[in-house]
Amino acid sequence: MRLAHRTAVVTGGGSGIGAAIAYAFAAEGAKVLIAGRGEARLREAAAKSAGPHPIRTCVADVAIRADIERLFEQADRELGRVDILVNSAGINVPRRALAELSPEDWQKIIDVNATGTFLCVRAVLPQMRERRDGVIINISSVAGIRASLLGGAAYTASKFAASGFGLVAGLEEKDHGIRVTNIYPGEVETPILDQRPVPVTAEHRARILQPEDVAAAALMVATLPPRAHVPELTIKPTTQAFA
């Protein structure tokens, strides 16, 4: 129980990487609150946890400031504090090539992937500063450190923004005892694959990363002693090129 007596808020916790991280943290004894836009999906995900504490849920859109305020009010009320924040909410769209990308889809992706990360970090920092302790994990993407056609212009821009923000936040907050980590997964078998312009085969899904692989990386970061900090961590499928 390496996270006994610790608490965590995980956005995008209803499925994919967020849900896998929530399960991993809960199994190690953490009290966990997951947030997402779909109540039914959140409840279904929470019911699958095998941890000693039931996973709590909050319907919230990270792109909406009022939802973020409500999320962290609930976290303070039900968890007492937030020791670990995992920003895992993320979206993409099928029409992602620049010739097809609409201004509306551009803004939607930026609002969730980049601004949502900022709003959540901004909400949790005061209490972490007061305690001089806290872990923030941003689930970015290899698209946030290497531009490619696969993710599209808006997704890549949003992830570069979130990655840069996380690095600066880590530099600013290190003397307050707050550790900020960007995790850059390569291809992962999650519902976001359903938004690919070209359908992904079952064979392809089987050979790429699974959500629990990224969760293992997040758990390693979250269980390090306060003296140790991992600013950036890349994890990719063995078969995926990284150049």
**pLDDT, position 180:** 98
Using an 8 Å Cβ cutoff, are 46 and 34 in contact? Answer: yes
Q: Counting every residue, how long is the chain?
A: 243
Contact call for residues 119 and 162 (beta carbons, < 8 A)? no
Q: In this structure, are residues 138 and 162 in contact, taking their beta carbons and an 8 Å threshold?
A: yes
pLDDT digits (tens, 9 = 90+) for 56-68: 999 999 999 999 9
pLDDT in tens, 46-99: 999 999 999 999 999 999 999 999 999 999 999 999 999 999 999 999 999 999
Question: So what CATH class is 7-235?
Answer: alpha beta
pLDDT for position 242: 86
Could you give the CA distance from residue 243 to residue 70 in angstroms, rounded to a whole number?
A: 41
Q: What is the pLDDT of residue 58?
A: 98
Predicted confidence pLDDT, tens digits, the chain (243 residues): 999 999 999 999 999 999 999 999 999 999 999 999 999 999 999 999 999 999 999 999 999 999 999 999 999 999 999 999 999 999 999 999 999 999 999 999 999 999 999 999 999 999 999 999 999 999 999 999 999 899 999 999 999 999 999 999 999 999 999 999 999 999 999 988 988 888 889 999 999 999 999 999 999 999 999 999 999 999 999 999 986
Q: Where are the domains of the chain?
A: 7-235
**pLDDT recorded at residue 195:** 86
Q: What is the C-alpha separation between 195 and 93, in angstroms, rounded?
A: 6
- Indicate which residue of 155, 160, 165, 184 is catalytic: 155
Cα separations in angstroms, 182 against 102, 145, 163? 28, 10, 6
Please tell me the predicted confidence (pLDDT) of residue 48: 96
Instruction: Give the Cα separation of 213 and 237 in Å (integer).
Output: 10
How is residue 52 written in tokens? Answer: 């000693």
> The pTM is what?
0.96
Percent residues over pLDDT 90 in the chain = 94
Angle at CA 23, nearest 5°, toward 137 and 118?
25
What is the model's pLDDT at position 157? 98
Please confirm, yes or no, whether 155 is among the known catalytic residues.
yes
